[in-house]
Amino acid sequence: MEILLGKTLEELQAVALACGLPKFAGKQLAEWLYGKRVVSIDQMTNISLKGREALKQAYEVGRKEPVAQVESKDGTKKYLFQINEQYIETVYIPEQDRATLCVSTQTGCKMGCKFCMTGTLGFHGQLTAGDILNQVLSIPESNQLTNIVLMGEGEPMDNITQVLRFLEIMTADYGLAWSPKRLTVSSVGLIPGLKRLLDESDCHVAISLHNPYHAERSQIMPAERAYAIEEVVRVLKQYDFSHQRRVSFEYICWGGLNDSEQYGDALLHLLQGLECRINLIRYHDGGQADFPASNETNMVRLRDYLTQKGITTTIRRSRGEDILAACGMLVNALKNEQSTK
């Protein structure tokens, strides 16, 4: 059976025509899928019974509930979804004035970053736009969401066609009609996909930087060997981030490795002339590599130094570390759960 969830308006119009329905029924399908968020074709009551039966011969909605969940002491929740024979994790992060969902775009990841636990899973497949959208629609807190970050399992630019389809549905009038500024897409810097994202969407961009020196970054992030961070920044400088759209750089701090003023100066040189911000991140040690975490003193010093030099820099608060839900910690540990708690 083919899945309806994740289809664009044009594709839904084609589905309608193929099932003997008028073209305008495609808009009705979109309203049921994305506006009313139905889970079955039988719920599409303004489509004729004959039309619904025709649809059911070849299609299903494709909504799937999470198969397990766990909650952190800080209120963060991690959900497990099954995708065919594989699994992905999705993280819900509630805050006082916002509720963010961190979604996955691939099962596993092929980028091989040495400090990331997710990279130890290897790569198992691409998610469809419907798989990505299902994470948004099928958690209990779906209607409470204010922001979405594509920072879960996988490299979004390595699945850019499906990511762009997801972003279209999230922001289109026929879809969920979200503002693009509520969506942030991350990348280690795969330039072909990054260019498509910048050209074909208005969503925010977050680049996983972690080290401003090519030789050192190459040792911990293999993608640097193909797409050097200097070239990534050069591409970004061709776009306007002075208005609503924002680019930020994620920077994990390791003690004595990249948290000194020397690295601050290198960051300032690298990012000179680019309207951006830097998010410093505490290292979440999963035991997969010998990376010493930076301390609070060094991180505050680096934050203040960069901010004083003109780049707004913040220290991101860690969430969900106790349930392996923080940055770089998604390894599908929940797949051993037998049922949703």
Tokens 């329905």 — which residue? Answer: 21
b/e per residue, 185-205, with b = 16+ CB within 10 A?
A: bbbbbbbebbebbbeebebbb
Query: Distances from the Cα of 217 to the Cαs of 113, 173, 326, in angstroms?
Result: 10, 41, 22
Tokens 């050097």 — which residue? Answer: 228
Tokens 């992905």 — which residue? Answer: 88
Catalytic residue IDs: 89, 327
Q: What tokens appear for 200 in the block?
A: 């074909």
Query: Distances from the Cα of 287 to the Cαs of 27, 88, 108, 141, 292, in angstroms?
Result: 50, 21, 18, 32, 10
Q: Report angle CA 89, 95, 98 to the nearest 5 degrees.
A: 90
